[in-house]
Amino acid sequence: MNVVRCFFYFLFYCLLLNLPFTAMAENLRFALVPKEINNPFFIATGKGCRVAAAKLANVECIFRGSSNIDVRVQDQIISELIDEGVDGIAVSITQSDFLASHSLQKAIKQGIPIITFDADFDHKTLKKYQHLRLAYIGSDDFELGKALGEQLKRHRPNGGSLIIQSGRPDSPNLNLRVMGVRSALSGKPYLAPPGERLNGENGWSEFSAPLYNFGQFSRALEDLKTVLNLYQDNKVDSFVAVGGWPQFVDGYRQTVEPYKVNLEQKDIILIIGDSAKIQLEYLRENLAHGNIGQNPFEMGKQAIFTLYKIANKQKYEKNITTPLTYCTPDNYASCVKD
C-alpha cells in the first residue's frame, strides 16, 4: 500500500514539476508587413505566412499593411506592431532610408528582430545602418528584370521602341528590375540601379523615362492605355512592366482586346511581371506575350520560419532566394507550381 501511495505521490510531483513549463510556453507573434495589402502578390505572401504559422507550435501570423503604397503609413504600422510587443517583423521595404531611420530604429532598440522579404534595403542604407536586418527572403530582382528583357528580345530580336513601367522611382527592388531589363537589352553592365535609359544600344531605345504608378493599379492601366495610343501613332512597339499592376485591375482585358490581332502579329509586345492566376488567364487568351513571376507564397512561409528560428536562437539562412517562374501563352497551364 505504501509503495502504491508513494508511486502516486511521485506521479503527482512530476506533474507539478511540468506545470511551470506549460505555463511558461508563450505564443510567438510574428508580423508580415507588405508594401500594400490589396495586391494579389502580397495577398499570397499573407497566405504563406498563415500556413507557416499553422505548422509551428504556438505561433501567430499577423498580416498587416496599408491599402496602397505609402512609406509613412507603413512606418506607422511597424511602430504600432512594436508597441504591441510582437516577437519579430518581416517587412517589404517601400523606401529604404526613411524606414531605416524611423520605426526600424525603434525595433532595434527594443530588441525586436527585423527581416525583409520581397524588397530589401538598398546597399547604401545597409552600409549606413549596420545590423539593420537579419535576413532577406525574396527574388533576385536584377535577374527578374533580366528575364523580362530576355523575353522581350525573343519576340523582338532586332530592337525596338520601349516604355518601361515601374512602381516608385525610389523603390530599391524595382530599380534593380529596371536595371535588369536595360542590361538584358543593351548588353551593358551598369554601376548602379536603375541603370541608364536606352538610347540605341542593340537597336533599343526608350521613348520616355519609366512610367511610375506608385502602386496604383488604375494609374498603371492608364499608363498602358497611353502606351497603346503611342503604338497607334507608330512611336512605341514594346512595353515592359516590372510588376503586375496593370493586370491586377478590372479593365485590362477590355483595354487590350481591341489590339489582340496586333499582339498576335507581334506589332506590339507586352511583357509583364508577376504570374497571378488572372495573369495566366490573360496569357491563355493571348492578351500578353509573357510574364515573369515570383513565389510570394513561399516568401511568406520562409519569412515566418526564419523569424521562428531567430526567436529560438537556431541557425538560419541570411539570404533565401526564391525561384522565378517563366510563363508564356504556350506553358501558362504548367509554369506555376503549387
pLDDT at 270 exceeding the cut of 50: yes
> What pLDDT score does 305 carry?
98
Model confidence at 337, pLDDT cuts 50, 70, 90, reads confident
User: Tell me, what's the pLDDT at 1?
Assistant: 42
Query: Over the range 34-62, which residues count as b (16 or more CB within 10 Å of their CB) and which as e?
Result: bbbbebebbbbbbbbbbebbeebeebbbb
What are the CA-CA distances from residue 201 to residues 181, 187, 189, 269 (Å)?
13, 8, 12, 19
Q: What percentage of the chain exceeds 70 in pLDDT?
A: 92
Highest average pLDDT, of 9-18, 122-131, 173-182, comes from: 173-182
Structure confidence by residue, pLDDT tens digits, 293-309:
999 999 999 999 999 99
Mean pLDDT of 188-213: 97
pLDDT given at position 131: 84
Is the pLDDT assigned to residue 169 strictly greater than 50?
Answer: yes
- 266's CB contacts (< 8 A; 6+ apart) are 155, 156, 289
pLDDT band at 31 (very low <50, low <70, confident <90, very high): very high
Is 208:230 a contact under the CB 8 Å cutoff?
Answer: no
d(CA 56, CA 27): 10
Query: CA 276 to CA 274: how far, in whole Å?
Result: 6
Structure confidence at residue 148 as a pLDDT band (50, 70, 90):
very high
DSSP E strand boundaries for the chain? 28-33, 59-63, 88-91, 114-117, 136-138, 160-166, 199-201, 204-206, 211-212, 238-241, 269-273, 290-293, 319-321, 325-327
End-to-end CA distance of the chain: 62
* Structural element, H or E, at residue 40: helix 40-55
In the predicted model, is pLDDT for residue 9 greater than 70? no
How would residue 17 be classed by pLDDT, with cut points 50, 70 and 90? very low
Mean pLDDT of the region 308-326? 96
Mean pLDDT rounded to a whole number for the chain: 92
In eight-state DSSP terms, residue 91 is: E
d(CA 97, CA 51): 31
According to DSSP, residue 157 is labeled T
Which whole-number Å values give the CA distances from 21 to 15, 17, 57, 214, 328, in the listed order? 10, 8, 15, 49, 54
Give the separation between CA 94 and CA 249, rounded to whole angstroms. 21
Is the backbone peptide bond immediately before 194 cis, with ω within 30 degrees of 0?
yes
Summarize the confidence of residues 44-56 as an average pLDDT: 97
Tens of pLDDT, residue by residue over 100-126, are 999 999 999 999 999 999 999 998 999
* C-alpha cell, 173: 527592388
Pick the CATH number of 141-293 from 3.40.190.80, 3.40.50.2300, 3.40.50.970, 3.40.1190.20: 3.40.50.2300
> At residue 336, does pLDDT exceed 90?
no
Query: Is residue 59 scored above 70 in pLDDT?
Result: yes
CATH superfamily of domain region 20-139+296-323: Response regulator (3.40.50.2300)
**Cβ-Cβ contacts under 8 Å for 100 (sequence gap 6 or more):** 121, 125, 128, 129, 132
Query: Residue 50's closest CA among 62, 36, 64?
Result: 62
What is the location of CATH 3.40.50.2300 in the chain?
Answer: 20-139+296-323, 141-293
- pLDDT for 130: 80
How far is it, in rounded angstroms, from Cα 137 to Cα 61?
17
**Conformation bin of residue 124: beta by default, left when phi > 0, alpha when psi is -120 to 50:** alpha
Assess contact for 109 and 328: CB atoms under 8 A: no
